Amino acid sequence: MPAPRKYPQELRERAMRLVQEAQKEDSSLSLNAAVIRIGSRTGVNPDTLRGWCKQASIDAGERPGTTSTDAARIKALEAENRELKRANEILLAASSFFARELDPRLPW
């Protein structure tokens, strides 16, 4: 079960929109300066807001990186891989157990 979100989705969207608007109004404003300015006004930690903005630009294809959907898919595939490895270990142990039962002369 994922951890509960500290910030409501509406606040998250509003803060990211305000950062984009601030950068459009002042083209010399860096992402860091914008998130510090907007973060203090909205009550969102600037590092958290910076991460949201970076991930949003990755998801939009504006910057390289792993998109949110790809990250979720990778996480699901890794969990499935762990489960399959566990099942293989169980099957291997069961097969060696039953092989010993059939022929006690076998070394394993």
According to the model, what pLDDT value does residue 60 have?
93
Q: What is the pLDDT of residues 65-85, one digit of tens each?
A: 999 999 999 999 999 999 999
Domains of the chain: 1-65 (1.10.10.10), 67-108 (no CATH)
According to the model, what pLDDT value does residue 107 have?
59
Q: What is the pLDDT of residues 5-22, one digit of tens each?
A: 688 999 999 999 999 999
- Alpha-carbon dihedral of residues 17, 18, 21, 27, nearest 10 degrees? -120
Q: pTM of this prediction?
A: 0.69
Q: Using CA atoms, how far apart are residues 43 and 101, in angstroms rounded to an integer?
A: 67
Burial 11-43 (b: 16+ CB within 10 A, else e): ebeebbebbeebbeeeeeeeeeebbebbbeebe
According to the model, what pLDDT value does residue 104 have?
64
R_g (Cα) of the chain, nearest Å: 25
Q: Which amino acid is at 5?
A: R
Q: What is the pLDDT of residues 13-55, one digit of tens each?
A: 999 999 999 999 998 999 999 999 999 999 999 999 999 999 9
